[in-house]
Amino acid sequence: MQILDDERDKLLDHEYDGIRELDNHMPVWWLWLFYFTIGFAVVYLLYYNVLGIGQNQHEEYAAEVAMAEQMYGSPSDDSGEATAAAVSWEFQTDAESIARGKEIYMSTGNLCFTCHGNNGEGLVGPNLTDGYWLHGCSAEELATSVTTGYPEKGMMPYGSGARISDDDLTDLISFIASIQGTEPANPKPVDEARASECSIK
Ligand code: HEC
């Protein structure tokens, strides 16, 4: 075995199958990384567990649930009325409100159009332009439909004031009112077993 001079005093005295080892230092960058992880662990422990400044996973979960309950109502108070009943809803007929409502309907944040069609003709969700409704067609009933959603059918609650403010919701239902009887192409057929006739005025 060939050993360079400067390796001789680094040579450790164990040997296995003719393989011997030099007592090299760890690379500096590796050591700093190691010290950094120790420092990080200390800070982490203090921040989350000792001083309790940061939220640990249980606290984070509790905070998210509390926020969701504030937005969508607590599952335990299943009045189902959410907050739509607290406002007296009215359809607006001015062009500006309707245009704004259409913008909300078509927005990628709300995605109404993906289920109810670009023109309200219906797709996954029911046709919003015919005179048949599953959940009523008064301004308050439409506001309630949007607010509570129908999660078991795939429509999420849009929680009044949370994702859609009351003003925006007024514009949104006004837009829906404005497309009544427009007879868009490819209308989704009426669900005769469930829908009943109701016309928005
Ligand atoms: C993921 C699909 C989906 C999205 C997104 C969605 N909906 Fe719906 N929506 C549905 C389904 C499905 C129903 C029917 C619920 C049922 O069968 O009881 C429905 C029902 C409704 C109703 C009641 C219709 C009736 O006949 O009484 C209204 C109003 C409505 N949606 C408006 C909206 C608006 C406004 C938005 C956007 C803010 C929206 N929906 C987003 C799927 C969706």
Residues 128 and 193 grouped into a single domain:
yes
Residues 92 and 12 grouped into a single domain:
no
Residue 72, ligand 1, Cβ within 6 A: no
**How many Cβ atoms are within 10 Å of 201's Cβ, its own excluded?**
7
Residue 65, ligand 1, Cβ within 6 A: no
Residues 169 and 126 grouped into a single domain:
yes
Residues 22 and 108 grouped into a single domain:
no
Residues 116 and 32 grouped into a single domain:
no
Residues of the chain with pLDDT under 70: 1-2, 74-85, 159-162
Q: Please give the helix or strand (H or E) that residue 132 lies within, else none.
A: strand 132-133
95: in domain: yes
Return d(Cα 121, Cα 143) in angstroms, integer. 19
Atom number, ligand 1, closest to the C-alpha of residue 172? 35
Residues 171 and 121 grouped into a single domain:
yes
The sign of the dihedral angle between the CA atoms of 62, 64, 66, 69 is: negative
Residue 124, ligand 1, Cβ within 6 A: yes
Residues 114 and 35 grouped into a single domain:
no
Q: Residue 134: what pLDDT?
A: 95
Count how many domains the chain has.
2
Asked if 69 and 157 count as a contact pair (C-beta separation under 8 A), the reply is: no
Q: Residue 80: what pLDDT?
A: 46
The model's pLDDT over 22-37, given as tens digits with 9 standing for 90+, comes to 888 889 999 999 999 9
Q: Is the pTM of this model over 0.75?
A: no
Among protein residues, the one with the nearest Cα to ligand 1's atom 20 is 125
Residues 136 and 179 grouped into a single domain:
yes
Residue 154, ligand 1, Cβ within 6 A: yes
154: in domain: yes
Residues 125 and 168 grouped into a single domain:
yes
Structural domain harbouring 94: 84-197
Residue 111, ligand 1, Cβ within 6 A: yes
Residues 158 and 110 grouped into a single domain:
yes
Among protein residues, the one with the nearest Cα to ligand 1's atom 10 is 125
The sign of the dihedral angle between the CA atoms of 115, 121, 125, 130 is: positive
